[in-house]
């Protein structure tokens, strides 16, 4: 019975019609001949390796193009890199919505530039799916920041397209949010976060402060810009303070930093993405929360080591010791805590 026709040129077998008996004889010869077996084994490895190399090369080329288009802002080159649906920083979006978000980014930061730092690491998830991890450095409004990021590519026909885009900080923050149950009060979702006690207005009595995470649910679309925090008190005379760009945070009683008899309040805010976060120092003046000093630049890699970000200088009256982050801090290895001083008026 004729079973198959081999095309090609492997160990002298070419353009021959084989019966099962002849095929069995040839296979037996190959398996019992180490030399022939090793040749065919090596040829198979080479073929498979070539296919893997090409797929790795294509996804890395797409990563470079994706990165470059964020600087050139060329949507015509960026759009074809995405699949029809994308898991985009924790949200399932269509390609059009994803590109619309990019356009908003480019419009908001006209000087936005992006650069890949170091080598990207490619992991094979499956035969048709690959994940590339990398560090991106972004520049906008005179600031330079680094983010540990990743893209997931999936093969569609002959093209590798982006099906997921995010960074490790976003994933961490989103995981924390999902664990919280959001309670709805009228048209506002409110989540009570950090609580704090102290004499914050200098009246000699203890007040309570707490942080509320809120979201306006009247918006037609779910937008991260709808989230904000407020600092509130059980003392109705103290007016609530709204903090933009905040989904979570921690309050600290810093004691009396400026010698006016009031305890000052520290606040480290959290957001959906990014490792760089501001630290606020508030003082209550005339029952209003005002910033005592400019915001302190911090990075997630310095939080544990820094401990308290601001404290009185024991050697100089009226001076504060500030622990902040260097601008050249690395997202993976902490290298950037520095000390600064501020003299209060």
Question: 243 and 159 in one domain?
Answer: no
Question: 168 and 258 in one domain?
Answer: no
Question: 123 and 268 in one domain?
Answer: no
Q: Which of 79, 61, 300 is nearest to 171 (CA)?
A: 300
Boundary-marking domain end, from 143, 172, 201:
172
Q: Which of 246, 187, 238, 178 is nearest to 211 (CA)?
A: 246
β-strand 296-299 against 310-312: which pairing, if any?
A: unpaired
Question: 49 near 40, Cβ under 8 Å?
Answer: no
CA distance 335 to 55: 36
Boundary-marking domain end, from 172, 200, 228:
172
Kindly state whether residue 4 falls inside one of the protein's structural domains. no
Question: 228 and 137 in one domain?
Answer: no
* Residues sharing a CB contact under 8 Å with residue 336, sequence separation 6 or more, in sequence order: 299, 301, 302, 325, 326, 327, 328, 329, 330
Q: 3-state SS of 32-43?
A: HCHHHHHHHHHH
What pTM did the predictor assign? 0.50
Question: 285 and 153 in one domain?
Answer: no
Boundary-marking domain end, from 172, 201, 221:
172
Question: 237 and 93 in one domain?
Answer: no
Kindly state whether residue 146 falls inside one of the protein's structural domains. yes
Kindly state whether residue 19 falls inside one of the protein's structural domains. no
CA distance 328 to 38: 52
Kindly state whether residue 26 falls inside one of the protein's structural domains. no
Domain with 104 in it: 40-172
Kindly state whether residue 177 falls inside one of the protein's structural domains. no
Residue 332: φ, ψ to 5°: -100, -45
Question: 235 and 136 in one domain?
Answer: no
Q: How many Cβ atoms sit within 10 Å of the Cβ of residue 17? A: 10
Q: What is the mean pLDDT of each run of 10 residues along the chain (345 residues)?
A: 36 42 56 58 50 67 94 94 92 91 88 92 92 91 86 92 89 64 43 83 91 70 69 93 88 93 93 81 94 90 84 94 74 63 89
Q: Domain containing 141 — which CATH number?
A: 3.10.450.50
pLDDT, residue 178, reads 56
* Residues sharing a CB contact under 8 Å with residue 209, sequence separation 6 or more, in sequence order: 195, 196, 197, 198, 200, 231, 232, 233, 238, 251, 265
Kindly state whether residue 101 falls inside one of the protein's structural domains. yes
Question: 290 and 143 in one domain?
Answer: no
Kindly state whether residue 67 falls inside one of the protein's structural domains. yes
Domain count, the chain: 2
Kindly state whether residue 323 falls inside one of the protein's structural domains. yes
Question: 194 and 164 in one domain?
Answer: no
Question: 286 and 205 in one domain?
Answer: yes
Question: 299 and 167 in one domain?
Answer: no
Question: 310 and 242 in one domain?
Answer: yes
């Amino acid at each position: 019975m004729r079973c198959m026709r081999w095309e090609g040129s492997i160990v002298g077998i070419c353009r021959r019609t084989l019966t099962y008996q002849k095929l069995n004889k040839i296979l037996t010869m190959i398996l019992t001949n180490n030399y022939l077996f090793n040749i065919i084994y090596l040829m198979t490895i080479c073929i498979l390796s070539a296919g893997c190399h090409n797929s790795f090369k294509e996804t890395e080329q797409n990563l470079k193009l994706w990165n470059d288009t964020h600087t050139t802002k060329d949507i015509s080159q960026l759009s074809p890199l995405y699949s029809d649906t994308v898991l985009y920083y924790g949200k399932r979006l269509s390609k059009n919505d994803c590109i619309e978000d990019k356009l908003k980014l480019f419009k908001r930061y006209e000087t936005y530039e992006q650069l890949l730092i170091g080598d990207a690491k490619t992991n094979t998830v499956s035969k048709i799916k690959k994940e590339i991890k990398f560090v991106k450095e972004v520049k906008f409004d005179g600031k330079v920041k680094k983010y540990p990021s990743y893209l997931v590519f999936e093969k569609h026909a002959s093209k590798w397209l982006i099906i997921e885009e995010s960074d490790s900080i976003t994933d961490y923050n989103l995981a924390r949010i999902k664990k919280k149950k959001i309670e709805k009060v009228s048209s506002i979702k409110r989540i009570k976060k950090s609580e704090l006690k102290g004499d914050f207005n200098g009246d000699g009595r203890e007040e309570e402060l707490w942080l509320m995470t809120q979201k306006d649910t009247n918006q037609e679309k779910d937008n991260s810009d709808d989230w904000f925090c407020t600092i509130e008190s059980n003392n109705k005379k103290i007016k609530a303070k709204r903090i933009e760009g905040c989904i979570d945070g921690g309050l600290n009683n810093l004691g009396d930093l400026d010698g006016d008899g009031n305890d000052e309040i520290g606040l480290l805010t959290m957001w959906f993405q990014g490792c760089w976060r501001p630290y606020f120092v508030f003082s209550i003046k005339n029952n209003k929360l005002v910033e005592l000093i400019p915001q302190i630049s911090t990075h997630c890699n310095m939080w544990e080591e820094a401990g308290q970000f601001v404290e009185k200088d024991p050697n100089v009256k009226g001076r504060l010791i500030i622990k902040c982050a260097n601008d050249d801090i690395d997202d993976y290895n902490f290298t950037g805590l520095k000390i600064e001083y501020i003299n209060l008026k």
